[in-house]
């Protein structure tokens, strides 16, 4: 064995410790890729161990340079792959973030849309319930008005057929009977203000001859106000026609000594909830009000004067009864007559010429004025 074998073994062991990357290529010759001329065996033998040692060192240096070059290329390749992977990862992170924002936006829009739909549904249900309740209320009111109108029309037909000013029906008007025949029935007859007004108006229209002998002249201002009201009849006090009558007739006629009770009577007359009844001869049940408020058979509750009270009034659905004198009853019925006739005109039940309706209004106003002054029929 020649002496250059030991360094060659050391170089071989170092190469085995280094990792091999890629495929080994044949080493290029130092002469620019040209093949070295083969030495003559005799020359090789003559050269001895020096040439072998130099050749082994040259091979080791070549292997080292190739290993460094391969390592550098591998490192650059790995860096490029790492950079590309990082770039792709960054793009994927951005895409995930964008998709996450889109998902959050869609979830928020879906939540808002769901809340809006539920709110709209609740609103529609609430509006439907409100409209249904209002419609049911209007239906009940309309049915009540229809029943009231039918009853009033029936009553008017009965009065027109069975009673006239010249020949009143004494069955319908018991106050026209003679005192010997006028006997109170057992119990209490009840007459609403409207019915009582019709009865009183008929009974007070008997002396027509004296009225026909009077001279009359239409007041242009009053007639213009009545015509304006007749075109669109209403029970509101704001119109000039009713405002004048309230100020000149209704207010003074219902202005009694007991102011608080007078106000209640005025409201009941306007709302058509006043009831006038004949006073019963038998003892009445105890009412939960003081004797001064109710009056008594010998004391008027409105005027506070000691008078023979043949009638009593009831306000609305209250259980309280108030005794009234004939003068107070005449004043109340005069106002009731007026309101009843005005309601009939408003409801379209009066089919007369405008001037005839005007003179009927004037007659009713005169009755209120006369009652206020203390004049009333003896039948009261």
pLDDT of residue 247: 94
Residues in the chain: 380
> Each residue of 272-329: pLDDT tens digit?
999 998 887 544 444 444 433 465 677 899 988 988 898 999 998 887 899 999 999 9
pLDDT of residue 288: 40
- Six-digit token string for 57: 């060192």
Q: State residue 47's pLDDT score.
A: 52
DSSP E strands: which ranges in the chain?
A: 191-192, 274-278, 311-315, 321-324
275 beta partners: 192, 314
d(CA 30, CA 18): 24
**How far, in Å, CA of 296 to CA of 208, rounded?**
36
Helix (H, G, I), strand (E, B) or coil at 86: helix
**Residues 6+ positions from 284 with CB-CB distance below 8 Å:** 321
pLDDT of residue 295: 56
Is this prediction's pTM over 0.75?
Answer: no
Residue 326 confidence (pLDDT): 92
Report pLDDT for 215.
87
**Averages of pLDDT over each 10 residues, the chain, 380 residues:** 44 47 44 46 53 81 82 88 92 92 93 92 92 91 86 74 51 46 38 42 42 79 93 90 94 92 92 87 44 63 89 87 92 93 88 90 94 83
How does pLDDT run across 326-339, given as a tens digit for each residue?
Answer: 999 999 999 999 99
Q: How far apart are the first and last CA of the chain?
A: 168
Q: Given CA atoms 209, 213, 215, 218 in this order, what sign does their dihedral have?
A: positive
Neighbours of 180 (CB within 10 A): 6
pLDDT at 163: 46
């Amino acid at each position: 064995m020649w002496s250059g074998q030991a360094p060659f073994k050391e170089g071989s062991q170092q190469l085995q410790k280094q990792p091999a990357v890629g495929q080994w290529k044949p080493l290029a010759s130092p002469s620019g890729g040209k093949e070295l001329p083969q030495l003559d065996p005799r020359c090789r033998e003559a050269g001895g161990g020096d040439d072998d040692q130099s050749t082994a060192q040259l091979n080791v240096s070549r292997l080292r340079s190739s290993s460094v070059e391969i390592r550098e290329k591998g490192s650059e390749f790995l860096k490029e792959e790492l950079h590309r992977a990082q770039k792709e990862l960054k793009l994927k992170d951005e895409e995930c973030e964008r998709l996450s924002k889109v998902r959050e936006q869609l979830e928020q829009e879906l939540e808002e849309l769901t809340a809006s739909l539920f709110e709209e549904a609740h609103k529609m249900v609430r509006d439907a319930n409100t409209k249904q309740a209002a419609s049911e209320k209007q239906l009940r009111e309309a049915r009540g008005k229809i029943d009231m109108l039918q009853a009033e029309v029936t009553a008017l037909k009965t009065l027109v057929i069975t009673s006239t000013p010249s020949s009143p029906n004494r069955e319908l008007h018991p106050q026209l009977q003679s005192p010997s025949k006028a006997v109170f029935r057992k119990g209490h007859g009840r007459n609403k203000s409207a019915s009582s007004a019709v009865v009183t108006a008929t009974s007070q229209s008997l002396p027509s001859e004296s009225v026909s002998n009077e001279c009359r002249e239409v007041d242009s201002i009053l007639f213009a106000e009545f015509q304006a009201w007749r075109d669109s009849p209403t029970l509101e006090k704001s119109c000039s026609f009713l405002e004048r009558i309230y100020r000149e007739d209704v207010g003074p006629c219902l202005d009694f000594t007991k102011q608080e009770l007078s106000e209640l009577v005025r409201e009941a007359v306007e709302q058509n909830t006043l009831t006038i009844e004949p006073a019963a001869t038998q003892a009445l049940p105890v009412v939960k009000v003081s004797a001064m408020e109710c009056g008594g058979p010998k004391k008027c509750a409105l005027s506070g004067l000691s008078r023979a009270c043949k009638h009593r009034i009831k306000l609305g659905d209250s259980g309280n009864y108030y005794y009234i004198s004939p003068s107070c009853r005449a004043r109340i019925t005069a106002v009731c007559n007026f309101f009843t006739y005005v309601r009939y005109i408003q409801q379209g039940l009066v089919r007369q010429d405008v001037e005839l309706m005007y003179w009927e209004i004037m007659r009713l106003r005169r009755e209120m004025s006369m009652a206020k002054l203390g004049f009333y029929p003896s039948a009261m």
